[in-house]
Amino acid sequence: MIIFLGLFLFIHAKPQTASSLNLLPVPQKIELGTGYLKLDQNFSIAIHEPVHDTILIKGVDRMMQALNRRSALYFIHKHITSNNNSDTSNLQITIDRPANPAIGADESYVLSINENKIILHAPTTLGALHGMQTIMQLLSKTDDGQIYFPTVKIQDAPRFSWRGLAIDVARHFIPLDVIKRNIEAMATVKMNVLHLHLSDNEGFRIESKTYPQLQDKGSNGRYFTQAQIKDLIAFAKERGIIVVPEFDMPGHTKSWFAGYPELGSSPNTNESTVSLFKNMKKMDLVSIIKLAQTAPIPAMNPAKESTYEFIDRFMGEMAALFPSEYIHIGADENNGVVWKNNPDIVAFMKAHKIPDTHELQAYFVHRVQKIVEKHNKKMIAWEEAFSKDISKNVTLQVWQNGTYLKKAVDNGNNVLLSKGFYLDVFYPAYIYYNNSDLPKTLNDNLPLKLKGGEAAQWTELADETNIETRIWPRAAAIAERLWSPSSVDNVEDLYRRLFAVSKQLDEQGLQHIGDYERSVRSLSNDGDYDAVKALTDVLTPLKGYKKLFAQLGNSSESLVYPPDPLVQVSDIVFVDSKTKWKFREAVKAYLENKDPGSKEIILHYLNQWKNNDVSLKKAFDRSSQLKAVEQHSKDLSTIAAIGLNAVKNIENGVAPNQNEINQNLEILKQADKAYGETELCIIPEVESLIKQQLMPLPASYPIF
Amino acid sequence: MIIFLGLFLFIHAKPQTASSLNLLPVPQKIELGTGYLKLDQNFSIAIHEPVHDTILIKGVDRMMQALNRRSALYFIHKHITSNNNSDTSNLQITIDRPANPAIGADESYVLSINENKIILHAPTTLGALHGMQTIMQLLSKTDDGQIYFPTVKIQDAPRFSWRGLAIDVARHFIPLDVIKRNIEAMATVKMNVLHLHLSDNEGFRIESKTYPQLQDKGSNGRYFTQAQIKDLIAFAKERGIIVVPEFDMPGHTKSWFAGYPELGSSPNTNESTVSLFKNMKKMDLVSIIKLAQTAPIPAMNPAKESTYEFIDRFMGEMAALFPSEYIHIGADENNGVVWKNNPDIVAFMKAHKIPDTHELQAYFVHRVQKIVEKHNKKMIAWEEAFSKDISKNVTLQVWQNGTYLKKAVDNGNNVLLSKGFYLDVFYPAYIYYNNSDLPKTLNDNLPLKLKGGEAAQWTELADETNIETRIWPRAAAIAERLWSPSSVDNVEDLYRRLFAVSKQLDEQGLQHIGDYERSVRSLSNDGDYDAVKALTDVLTPLKGYKKLFAQLGNSSESLVYPPDPLVQVSDIVFVDSKTKWKFREAVKAYLENKDPGSKEIILHYLNQWKNNDVSLKKAFDRSSQLKAVEQHSKDLSTIAAIGLNAVKNIENGVAPNQNEINQNLEILKQADKAYGETELCIIPEVESLIKQQLMPLPASYPIF
């Protein structure tokens, strides 16, 4: 059944070292052996559990099918039930007690693989699910096609108990199947909280049976039914993931007022804010911030008792629907202008001695908190909900102002960190990975109070056609930051594993690569595809919110009309270019040790890029989207020629004069501009090649 | 708003001729002008309808979004409501009366495009929906990026009122999102019936509230809830498509007996039939057919009154759920063996003077028909339900024995044709297109009684990961056969449009190309992808049921265990290779007129194929799936070298001796074999090049 393999059987195989494993996130402790457990079609699994644990059994069966699919071994033992408990099975899975996903539950596991057997033990179901993800990532193939696991001992547990992904399904509705694919991906990298931003100005995205006008008038017909939500929660639960709903209030509530205008603070809250945002196109950032502070942005009326009665009944309905311990009430970005403009609210403030709208917001938050707790839930809110009198029961989510982290912890509140984890600002993965707002060492109250964090994908510029490309694989870097010890911080190794996990997610059915390539096909004609893709492979979206501000007003779905389609090159390309990283690795290896294989890779890319522009002439003429990035294509060609020349000089030991180098560096600098809201991402690597011409090899390649 | 364009503005554009339009299906009458209507961001649409027609308005809005997305023009007029009825809008849509999808409803439309305006008129909503699909397919782009419609006059109506696609969701469950994508694709090619095969031995795939054990014990947890079915029906209805459910009985019912064994004819109907099928692997076709005729295959007990009471209550529930006029009761492939083995049933036959099991089946069908009609539905059944006494109300679906077509029509029954339309036998599109069982001219009773036909995708060898690649674009050839006049029969033009519609479906989100490419990525390592794809692009699955028989026993989901994963090369490749057709077109053009562009294409492919095998050495070693087709790669290389030599000889006017030609033809013949249940599909084209060496150009290239 098991074939005992000495190293001699693996002479063609490249034995793995710990640093070549593709585990993401990296486990707490890992000890890699030198042996192997080879898989064949007799592979079998046994489950040992105290009571019938459906989540565990389904999870093991899912892993068995996934192993069967990835290995193509066609196992004889096809299907897992709780009756599979033979001690002779290769993989022995034991848990002490079943557990549903919950914050703070024991998620640890111990995994041991020797040449005969795999032993996975976990105190709870949740640890076993994580351990199985580790097993899947350990699955390896030799160059001669043998399927094996390396021998290894792993002790693992998360650094933080809250490892979340927040998805905004309001600005663009994201359908059920897309959310499910994201859940599968989250489970792969051991994330445990899906935070759904279910309502915002642009849409109310969940069915309420108590207040059906919320979805009927507050959405364009695109929302989750309660049956779908139940299905989603069950799907997530089976994968160890909690679904936390967010109902943003008192601001971000325009969609509520479409059906229930009495909730609003202004008689004309139904008035479109679109015209307001439209002008943003022509504004600079300072003006936009000022506008956000001074514009009459819709908000609930905190002065009417009926508002709280509504919230009470609504929260009661949602508390029954979502088993999550937590409900998120938003409470962000409410500037209070509509409150100041409403005489009734002003009178209410005077009567209740509420000095300003910030205190009025604190009053509102306090009232809502009581409602949430009445329905046996804990409340989460964004940092703006913080006030000196805030209840210590409230969990605060820091997103913009890092000082709230300390303030809230000092006040005794639990905290979640999303500052530095916003995926919608188009930063590459290593920026999130190095998030400076997350303390490296946890001292004082932090270990108790900082519960973890959340990646966040807002959807002004993401919809069902590109959101997977937006979130993945970058969110995996955040998953690792929240799971692994803080000492795990090698960026190069992160990227190696990030692209490995990206391939794994692709095989599992995630559409991040599929959506990108479909979009490239859509921009291409039959013969163009390779050349278009060679260009888009090295373009990344303009970083920060510049792209968002350029498009505001048309970028989200709304009650009034559908959004503009997201069909520009900037909408479809990855934030982290895999080609850039392959090129970067090659440049690094070449400059460090003149590695000939790396030189071949460098020359392959540079020659491709140099000659790519000429093949795109017709494509640029035909497509306005491609036309917008044409200058990048020309620059890529020029830069590649400079790079080729630099490699020639390095090879020949010929140093060009400083003048020529300066000229070339100036050309690179000129190319480092945005066109069509995208940037050319391989400039630093060519810069290294240029600078190297003046220095002897081996060089120490500057990483960032 | 509209820019009047003379031809002089289009000097770079290649004006379209009727034969270069990408319409699929081809309309009944088409008259192509020489002018153009150019689109810009001021494009607008007006709707004129007698009453508020939600299906129409939603359909027009969907088209507007799709036009906006495909053109990237960012229309100012973003959203369509019934208030949009201005006479100055570019596109004027008028219907006489609203209509829900129904068999025999008026689906005709008239479309006229001149340089100023598009006029779409249809008697009903359904015709308008079809007309909008035509508009989408007319959308064109000049080489300099201008978006336009050609001026055209079209009168269109379907040849047959029933243009269906049957999907088996029982053997492998196919989830909701995949079915919805298929519905979108069906609407694109003007199909109007989705036939869901909802139950079979391997699974009961729909929730019954009356008999919940049907899905609870009769599926592996994978079935449609009633909420999902309602959602699906509404989604289909908005696209002009009817959902017809099939509940196959009295045979194909093993999954029913898991929860309700009393329905079965044999005390051991729960016994696995898997062992039976397992042996098929070693059998020849004759033995398999004999086995199918003699094995005790599970069937309902037709002798018990309680069976009909059960069916009555069940049909009542389903009749209320499905608005379709029709319910399909299967009635196929019941060999009667379990009936003969049951003494109670034998006694029943004697008592009722039923001479044989065929007559007993007729009795059962008659009883069920009364039940179906009691619930105000019309009954459909497969050809086996035919008997001389069958009610003329029954619609018969012919799938295997073509003589039933005439028999049934002569008997006065309506008929649907699926014989020759089974997609799961892996035939290329032109075979279905040329289906000889569909009369070219309809005479006698045929025009009245032959209502149309259905493509059918059975899912022993298809699951959610490959079913779109299996169905599309081939089903579009059947859609055209059932819509267009029978005089539309040019196979080469079909293929040109088939691959154009394939690109359109890809852009719309269908996963047929995406799933194929994901699977190729999964078989590839980083550097291998292009070479692996170059090989798989010219492999097609072995035709007929050979592949099915080779895998029977493990190929379907079952109550007992999950199926083998569909991860062989034969599972993932297209039945119609686009590369083959591009190569074929080039060979044809080259041999006809020595077209230099075509020669370049031929040389490009042949050189790529010749050199491809050497890059795949490592890939074959690593992957058992690729290893199974390694011989094809070697043969491809050899054949390509022969082809290159032939082109050289043709160019130089050198005729090799007949011996050498015979040797090369023998090599081709040897290469024309199946490996890994796939075939190399470019052999006929290379054969033409070889034979051409002995003949002067231009040649008349043999098409099939």
Res A354: pLDDT: 97
User: Taking 80 as the threshold, does the pLDDT of residue B555 lie above it?
Assistant: no
pLDDT value, residue B6: 32
Among all residues of B, which ones are annotated catalytic?
333
**pLDDT at residue B551, rounded to an integer:** 60
Rounded distance between C-alpha atoms, residue A456 and residue A532, angstroms? 30
Domain parsing of chain A, residue ranges: 7-156, 162-485, 519-691
Weakest-pLDDT range from A69-78, B178-187, B494-503: A69-78
Q: B452 with B415: CB under 8 angstroms?
A: no
Whether A518 sits inside 8 A of B503 (CB atoms) is: no
- CATH superfamily membership of A162-485: Glycosidases (3.20.20.80)
Summarised one tens digit per residue, pLDDT across range A479-488 is 999 999 999 9
CA dihedral A151, A155, A159, A165 (to 10 degrees): 50
With beta carbons under 8 A apart, name residues in chain B contacting A582.
526
Is the pLDDT score of A385 beyond 80?
Answer: yes
- Residues A598, A585: Cα–Cα separation, whole Å: 8
* CB-CB neighbors (< 8 A) of B61 in chain A: 562
| pLDDT given at position A555 | 59
Q: Averaged over A577-606, what is the pLDDT?
A: 94
DSSP assignment, residue B54?
A: H
For position A85, what pLDDT does the model report?
A: 82
- Residue A289: the pLDDT is 77
Question: pLDDT confidence of A550, banded at 50, 70, 90?
Answer: low
CA distance A624 to chain B (A): 7
The verdict on B514 touching A (C-beta cutoff 8 Å) is yes
From chain B, the residues in CB contact with A142 under 8 A are 622
What confidence score (pLDDT) does residue A655 get?
80
Residue A353: the pLDDT is 97
**Residue B406 pLDDT > 80, yes or no?**
yes
Instruction: Please give the distance of CA A16 from its chain centroid, rounded to a whole number.
Output: 28
Residue A274 forms contact with B (CB below 8 Å): no
- Using CA atoms, how far apart are residues A599 and A647, in angstroms rounded to an integer? 8
Task: Please identify every residue of A annotated as catalytic.
Answer: 333
Dump pLDDT digits (tens) for A292-303.
788 888 999 999
Do B7-156 and B162-485 come out as alike in CATH topology?
A: no
d(CA A367, CA A370) in angstroms, rounded, equals 5
User: Is A320 a residue whose pLDDT tops 80?
Assistant: yes
- Given this model, what pLDDT does residue B527 score? 79
- From chain B, the residues in CB contact with A518 under 8 A are 506-507, 509, 513-514
The two tokens of residue A242 are: 């909690």
Å from B128 to nearest chain A CA? 22
Identify the weakest region by mean pLDDT among A112-126, A551-565, B463-477, B521-535: A551-565
Is the pLDDT confidence value at B13 over 60?
Answer: no
Given a cut of 60, whether residue B686 has pLDDT beyond it is: yes
**From residue A140, how far is each of A76, A143, A150 by CA, in Å?**
20, 10, 8
B 572-591 residues inside an 8 A Cβ radius of A = 582
Look at residues B600, B504, B527, B483 and name the one whose alpha carbon lies nearest to residue B154: B483
- Considering only CB atoms, A561 lies closest to which of B79, B141, B565, namely B79
Superfamily (CATH) of domain B7-156? Chitobiase/beta-hexosaminidase domain 2-like (3.30.379.10)
**Separation between Cα atoms, residue A165 and residue A476, nearest integer Å:** 10
Most confident of A46-55, A81-90, A693-702, B235-244: B235-244
- Please tell me the least confidently modeled range out of A163-172, A585-594, B158-167, B370-379: A585-594
* CB within 8 Å of chain A, chain B residues 4-63: 61
Confidence of residue A444 (pLDDT cuts 50, 70, 90): low
Whole-number percent of chain B with pLDDT over 90: 81
Segment A20-41 mean pLDDT: 95
Say how far apart CA B398 and CA A563 lie, in whole Å. Answer: 47
In chain A, which residues have their Cβ closer than 8 Å to the Cβ of B564? Answer: 68, 74
Listed in sequence order, the residues at least 6 apart from B83 whose beta carbon sits closer than 8 Å to its beta carbon are none
- What pLDDT is recorded for position B595? 87
Question: Which residues of chain A are within 8 Å of residue B527 when distances are taken between CB atoms?
Answer: none
pLDDT interval class at A154 (50, 70, 90)? very high
- What part of B 157-176 touches A (C-beta under 8 Å)? 175-176
Higher pLDDT, B492 or A552: B492
For the cut 70, the answer to whether the pLDDT of residue A658 exceeds it is yes
**pLDDT value of residue B692:** 86
A458 confidence band (pLDDT: 50, 70, 90): very high
At residue B695, the pLDDT reads 73
| Pairs of CB atoms within 8 A across A/B | 106
Which string of DSSP letters, residue by residue, matches B244-266?
A: EEEEEESBS-HHHHHH-GGGBSS
Please name which of B538, B541, B559 lies closest in space to residue B550, comparing C-alpha atoms: B541
Give the count of beta carbons closer than 10 Å to the beta carbon of residue A114: 15
CB contact under 8 A, A507 and B513: no
Q: How many CA atoms lie within 13 A of B185 on its CB side?
A: 32
Cα–Cα dist B269/B263, whole Å: 10
Question: In Å, how far from its chain's centre is CA B25?
Answer: 14
Q: Are the Cβ atoms of B554 and A522 closer than 8 angstroms?
A: no
Confidence at residue A373, expressed as pLDDT on a 0 to 100 scale: 98
The whole-number pLDDT of residue A556 equals 64
Q: Which of residues 449-468 of B touch A (CB under 8 A)?
A: 465
Taking alpha carbons only, the member of B612, B646, B618 closest to residue B632 is B612
Phi (first) and psi of residue B453, to 5 degrees: -165, 180
Query: Which pLDDT belongs to residue A8?
Result: 29
Q: Determine phi and psi for B235, rounding to 5 degrees.
A: -60, -45
Rg (CA), chain A: 27
pLDDT score recorded for residue B9: 30
Distance CA A21, CA A8 (A): 21
Judge whether B34 and B16 are in contact, CB under 8 Å.
no
Mean pLDDT, rounded, of chain B: 91
Tell me, what's the pLDDT at A592?
Answer: 87
Q: How confident is the model at residue B291 (pLDDT cuts 50, 70, 90)?
A: confident
pLDDT digits (tens, 9 = 90+) for B632-665: 999 999 999 999 999 999 998 888 888 999 999 9
pLDDT at position A510, please?
Answer: 98
At B567-586, the pLDDT tens digits run: 999 999 999 999 999 999 99
Q: pLDDT band for position B544 (50/70/90)?
A: confident
Min mean pLDDT across A151-155, A184-188, B275-279, B506-510 is at B275-279
Lowest mean pLDDT among A138-142, A642-646, B273-277, B388-392: B273-277
Which of these ranges, A488-492, B164-168, B560-564, has the smallest mean pLDDT? Answer: B560-564
pLDDT at res. B4? 33
User: Which region among A592-596, A668-672, B552-556 has the lowest average model confidence (pLDDT)?
Assistant: B552-556
Partner residue opposite A227 with nearest CB, options B68, B227, B518: B227
Tell me the mean pLDDT in the region A555-568: 73
| pLDDT recorded at residue A552 | 57
Given a cut of 90, is residue B594 above it in pLDDT?
Answer: no
Q: What is the pTM of this model?
A: 0.94
> Could you tell me if A567 lies within 8 Å of chain B, comparing CB atoms?
yes
Q: How confident is the model over B63-111, as pLDDT tens digits?
A: 999 999 999 999 988 888 878 888 899 999 999 999 999 999 999 999 9
- Flag whether residue B184 sits within 8 Å of chain A, measured between CB atoms: no
Q: What pLDDT is stored for residue A689 in this prediction?
A: 94
In B653-682, which residue ranges form alpha helices assigned H by DSSP? 658-671
- Interface probe for B, chosen from A64, A469, A521 (most Cβ of B below 10 Å), is A521
By the CB < 8 Å criterion, does B511 face chain A?
yes
Q: Are A126 and A240 in contact (CB under 8 A)?
A: yes
ipTM of the complex: 0.93
Query: Residues B662, B663, B664, B668: what is their CA dihedral angle, to the nearest 10 degrees?
Result: 90
Backbone phi, psi, residue A164, to 5°: -110, 165
Q: Is the confidence at residue B287, as pLDDT, over 90?
A: no
Q: Which residue in the set A74, A565, A622 is minimally distant from B68, CB to CB?
A: A565
Confidence of residue A282 (pLDDT cuts 50, 70, 90): low
Could you tell me the pLDDT band of residue B281, with boundaries at 50, 70 and 90? low
DSSP classification of residue A423 = G
Whether residue A145 and residue B622 make contact (CB cut-off 8 A), yes or no, is yes
Chain B residues whose CB is inside 8 A of the A69 CB are 565, 567
Mean pLDDT, chain A, as a whole number? 91
Where residue B560 falls among pLDDT bands split at 50, 70, 90? low
> pLDDT grade, residue B11 (50/70/90)?
very low
Residue B19 has pLDDT above 80, yes or no: no
What is the pLDDT at residue A502? 98
- Please tell me the predicted confidence (pLDDT) of residue A281: 58
CB of A597 within 8 Å of a chain B CB? The answer is no
Per-residue pLDDT band for A87 (boundaries 50, 70, 90) equals confident
Which residues in chain B are closer than 8 Å to A616, comparing Cβ atoms? Answer: none
- Whether the CB of A69 is below 8 Å from some CB of chain B: the reply is yes
Q: pLDDT tens, B422-476?
A: 999 999 999 999 999 998 887 766 778 999 999 999 999 999 999 999 999 999 9
pLDDT at A696: 63
More confident residue, A664 or B556: A664
Per-residue three-class SS string for A282-308: HCCHHHHHHHHHHCCCCEECCCCHHHH
Q: What is the pLDDT of residue B447?
A: 72
pLDDT at B683 over 80: yes
